[in-house]
A = this chain, B = another copy of it.
Amino acid sequence: MEVENKHIIIKHAIDGLPTESDFELRSTPLVLSVAQGSKEVRIDAYGVGKVVVSGNEEFERDDVVAGLLAWEEYTVIRPGTTLTKVDPNEFPLSYHASILGPSGLTAYAGFHDICKPKKGEKVFVSTASGSVGSLVGQYAKLSGCYVVGCAGSKAKVDLLKEKLGFDDAFNYKEEPDLKSALRRYFPEGIDIYFDNVGSAMLDAAVANMNLFGRVAVCGAISEYADAGKRAAIDMVDVIYKRITLRGFLAFDHLHLHAGFISSTSDHLRHGRMRAVEDISTGLESVPSAFAGLFRGDNVGKKLVRLPSL
């Protein structure tokens, strides 16, 4: 069987903030079959998909799987690519691409393995209503920490305080002086900063850190599109307060994966955590979904659902 496989391409190297016009929806014919003895699996979605044809005995047609797919309707999975079967019944499928997927592991591993929280510690999370931040705040509360998040709108701040259990939250766009804002929200100082933005917010957090403070450097959204925008951390502070800053990627922490899935599933079952998702529909919405991440359009994990799934 041959299908038209719609996919999204990036037209050219992106300089600065991505916009919708940097992307294009294309379509290419794809034969839905695999060679005899091939280990290829073909599936039909991004993040979470359904097997349509498989040459790998571990997977069969209609299995629901999660893994690193692509921005297209059908993806050919090469041998050696990690693909996990998921139970399509217990949680919404989207959870396997958000709270139980890489964003979840990033939050879990980053908070537990990099930040090494102790009960009662003061935790600051930036982009706190984003895919990772919204989960870090919840893990921090479950660990007995005091948690303040920042986000870019009143609606997001309200979500943090009213739905996600943050002790406090503020709109950074309304704070002309980030250092004094953090001094106000953390009169006793910050023990842990989970950094998703870099630049000025990172400087302000370091300036407000306590002795032996830890910074998990998870993202630098304010720096991605502007190579000239940089943090200007006070290294004298870093020395005298013995601060550790550590960059990390979730896939270095796969030894935590089983514990992450079992404990997070359990928190979800008992209503102790909630997934925050922002779902658009149709492959053609991928460009605006992606570009919107840089504008702060999303609340929680940004996902694109294909109508076929």
Contacts and interface: CB of A to CB of B under 8 A. Distances in A.
A13 to B, nearest CB: 16
Contact of A252 (B195, B242, B244, B246): B242
Chain A interface category by residue count: 20 to 34
B252 A247 contact: no
Contacts of A102: none
Nearest to A248: B242
A205 B236 CA distance: 17
Nearest to A246: B244
Interface in A170-192: none
A97 interface: no
B242 A220 contact: no
A63 B242 CA distance: 35
A198 B235 contact: yes
- Report the copy number of this chain in the oligomer: 2
Contacts of A217: 235, 238-239
B242 A244 contact: no
Contacts of A230: 232-235
A244 B246 CA distance: 4
Interface in A193-243: 195, 198-199, 202, 217-220, 223-224, 227, 230-243
Nearest to A220: B235
A274 to B, nearest CB: 27
A249 interface: yes
A285 to B, nearest CB: 27
Interface in A61-76: none
A236 B220 contact: yes
Contacts of A244: 244-247
A249 to B, nearest CB: 6
Contact of A241 (B195, B235, B241, B247): B247
Interface of A: 195, 198-199, 202, 217-220, 223-224, 227, 230-249, 252
